[in-house]
Amino acid sequence: MSSYDDDHTGARIKEQRRLAHLTQKQLAALLPYSYSLLNQVECGARAATPDFVAAVARVLRIDVTVLTGQPYVTELQKDRLAALVRPIREALDTYDLGADPAVCPRPTAQLVEAADLLCRAVRATRLRMAATELPSLIAEMTTAAWTAPTTELWQALASTYRTAHDISVKLGYYDLSSVALDRMAWASERASDPCLSAVRQYMRALVYFREGEYTIGQRLIGAGHGLINGLGTRESLAVNGQLHLGAAVIAARAGACNRAVVEGHLEQASVCAERTGDASDVYWLSFGPTNVDLHSMSASVEMRLYDDALSQAREIRLPAGLATSRRAHYLIDRARSEMETGRTTAALSSLVAARKAAPEQTRYHPGARETISGLVHQARRTPDTLGHMAAWIGM
Q: Residue 5 — very low, low, confident or very high, per pLDDT cuts 50/70/90?
A: low
Question: pLDDT digits over 238-283, tens only?
Answer: 999 999 999 999 999 987 567 899 999 999 999 999 999 999 889 9
For the chain, helix (H) and strand (E) counts, in that order, are 22, 0
- Cβ(38)–Cβ(71) under 8 Å? no
Single-letter code of the amino acid located at 175: D
Single-letter code of the amino acid located at 215: T
- Is the pLDDT assigned to residue 3 strictly greater than 50? no
Q: How far is CA 348 from CA 41, 205, 353, 375, 390, in A?
A: 20, 31, 9, 8, 11
DSSP-assigned states of every residue in 191-206: HT-HHHHHHHHHHHHH
- Is the pLDDT assigned to residue 2 strictly greater than 70? no
Question: pLDDT digits over 215-231, tens only?
Answer: 999 999 999 999 999 99
β-pair partners for 279: 287
Q: Residues 15-35, buried b or exposed e (16+ Cβ, 10 A)?
A: ebbeeeebebeebbeeeebee
Out of 46-50, 81-85, 145-149, 266-270, least confident range:
46-50
DSSP state of 393: T
Single-letter code of the amino acid located at 216: I
Single-letter code of the amino acid located at 206: L
Q: What is the pLDDT of the chain when averaged over all its residues?
A: 92
Q: What percent of the chain has pLDDT over 90?
A: 82
Cα 69 from Cα 46, distance rounded (Å): 17
Segments making up each domain of the chain, as ranges: 1-69, 325-395
CATH number of the 1-69 domain: 1.10.260.40
Q: Residue 209 — very low, low, confident or very high, per pLDDT cuts 50/70/90?
A: very high
DSSP-assigned states of every residue in 194-238: HHHHHHHHHHHHHHHHHHT-HHHHHHHHHHHHHHHTT--SHHHHH
Greater pLDDT, 272 or 389: 272
- Cβ(203)–Cβ(181) under 8 Å? yes
Mean pLDDT calculated for residue range 15-31: 95
Q: What percent of the chain has pLDDT over 70?
A: 97
Show Cβ contacts of residue 232 under 8 Å, excluding neighbours closer than 6 positions. none
Mean pLDDT calculated for residue range 184-197: 95
- Cβ(171)–Cβ(201) under 8 Å? no
pLDDT for res 200 = 96
